[in-house]
Amino acid sequence: MSVHISANKGDIAKVVLQPGDPLRAQYIAENFLENVRLVSKTRNIFYFTGEYKGKTISVGASGMGCASIGIYSYELFTEYDVDTIIRIGTCGAYNTDLKLFDILNVENAASESTYAKYAWEIEGDLLSHQGKVFDMINETAAAQSIITKNTNIHTSDIFYRKAPGTPAVAEKYNCSAVEMEAFALFANAQHLGKNAATILTVSDIIPTREEISANERERALKPMIELALETAIKL
């Protein structure tokens, strides 16, 4: 049992899908998995384990930001012997080249965050996906006729900021969108020699202020969830 996850050893599968929101984890477990068990609810951060097409898979929340996913992904990797984490989340597009509902397979995450430097002495502001999952997502998407876009994204510690426009680090690495967790997940996986990927659905277009409505969220996120699950059963 870890500090922040109360599951017993063996309760969490080798492959974990990790949305940010605990209620989204619950939605996935209840609507996509069979024989589901709630294995942890410490701090109302839910973790479930069940089966998808005969494969045992866990799904649980990361919370918001590098600090939070840094804790949960590290404990999953080290305390529960998880091999692979696929982050599934939403993002804001920095330009109109992306459209609402687009699915992104993150190739690299750029960030001003000091997480990687001070946690693991990993220098630099750009970290890549780790292991074989990125390629497997692309292969699965092609087989399922799901259109995905490989891209760099910006992992920001800041949701609200004074200065408008695209931050310098995002401009530097041609980041198409912004979210808040992938950089820390990739840092932990790199340090520990684990597999990590991030799939994102574009939920808003920052320049035009278009956004997916609350009523559209379920339809919007279903293709991304199914892509992650179809990838997970191959791992």
Phi then psi for 194, rounded to 5 degrees? Answer: -110, 175
Query: What CA–CA distance (Å, rounded) separates 2 from 93?
Result: 36
Residues near 52 by beta carbon (within 8 Å), at least 6 away in sequence: 32, 33, 34, 229, 232, 233
Query: What CA–CA distance (Å, rounded) separates 67 from 20?
Result: 12
Q: Which of 21, 83, 125, 204 is catalytic?
A: 204
Q: Note if 125 is an active site residue.
A: no
Pairing type for strands 47-52 and 34-40 reads antiparallel
CB 170 within 8 A of CB 94: yes
Report, as residue numbers or ranges, the catalytic residues: 204
